Amino acid sequence: MTSRSATRERRDRLLRLVRSGTDRVEDLAVHAGVSESTIRRDLAALERSGRLARTYGGATSVAPFRERGLAERIAARTSAKAAIGRIAAALVPAGATIFVDAGSTTAQLVESLARDQELTVVTRGLEIALALAAEPRVDVQLIGGRLSAGSHGTTGALALEGIDRFSFDLAFLGADAVDPACGVGEPTVDETYTKERVAARSRRTVVLADAAKLAPRSVPAWARLPHGWTLVTDECDPALLEEYREAGVEVLHPATQTA
């Protein structure tokens, strides 16, 4: 086991201990078999990632996951999402058929798409479809289904039926959380299953996620993605990004792009 894997495993165990009621530094150190200074460093890292909150002499669990509304997400980290959108848009060749997920970061992708070339865009997002509806060279296909109040995206049997009618050159997915092994995290199983179905119909799967989404979060459901998927992010921490590369994920971020 690598030192990075051992650290991750130890921190996951600390989370389980804190959630079960063991919350003092000295008790956590005994259970984990490491020094109290190591426990304090682990707790600090877990707090930075949003997985727990530190207290005097220990730690406590964070509040349960809450899905933010689309308007709230659109207003957050707009410059980072715009940079991610520009990188993602550069991957789209003329004449492609692409899937664009619902969400605030995928909306930035749409803003950067070239309007002077033929393109078919299939989406489950209302705002995505409306943003492209007036473009004469873009064929917009809106997938039906049950509408999510949080993301304004469709899910359910009708959405899956619509997705199965297409083959995509690229699929651009949003996420509430991203993990190199688990894939993308979402508030419902319906959301994750929809994303998995899209990825299965696509030649290339691209996840758009700002750095905040890469911090581990207690989302309820996860969509596993095909080996070799691509992550576009503004995160530049070499150690964190190396975990994705080791898992077979292609990583693109502003520092990798030439002027």
Residue 162: CB partners within 8 Å, gap ≥ 6? 141, 143, 144, 145
Closest CA to 189 of 162, 168, 219: 219
Q: How far is CA 146 from CA 119, 129, 136, 149, in A?
A: 26, 16, 28, 10
Q: What is the pLDDT of residue 122?
A: 98
Q: Which domains does the chain have, with CATH numbers?
A: 3-61 (1.10.10.10), 70-256 (3.40.50.1360)
Is pLDDT at 229 greater than 90 in this prediction?
A: yes
Residue 135: CB partners within 8 Å, gap ≥ 6? 115
Exposure b/e, 60-94, CB count within 10 A at least 16 = b: eebeeeebeebeebbeebeebbbbbbbbbbebbee
Query: In this structure, which amino acid lies at residue 241?
Result: L
Handedness of CA 177, 189, 82, 180 (dihedral sign): positive
How far apart are alpha carbons 55 and 57 in whole angstroms?
6
Q: What is the pLDDT of residue 259?
A: 42
**What pLDDT, in 10s, does the model give residues 52-74?**
777 777 776 655 544 555 555 55
**What pLDDT, in 10s, does the model give residues 104-128?**
899 999 999 988 889 999 999 999 9
Q: What is the pTM of this model?
A: 0.73
Q: What does residue 124 show for φ and ψ, rounded to 5 degrees?
A: -110, 5
DSSP conformation class of 110: H
Closest CA to 203 of 256, 167, 163: 167
pLDDT tier, 216 (very low <50, low <70, confident <90, very high otherwise): low
| 167, HSE (Cβ side, Cα atoms, 13 Å) | 1
Averaged pLDDT score across all residues of the chain: 87
Total Cβ atoms within 10 A of residue 177: 22
Percent of the chain residues topping a pLDDT of 90: 54
Collapsing DSSP to helix, strand or coil, 102 comes out as coil
Is pLDDT at 201 greater than 90 in this prediction?
A: yes
Collapsing DSSP to helix, strand or coil, 123 comes out as strand
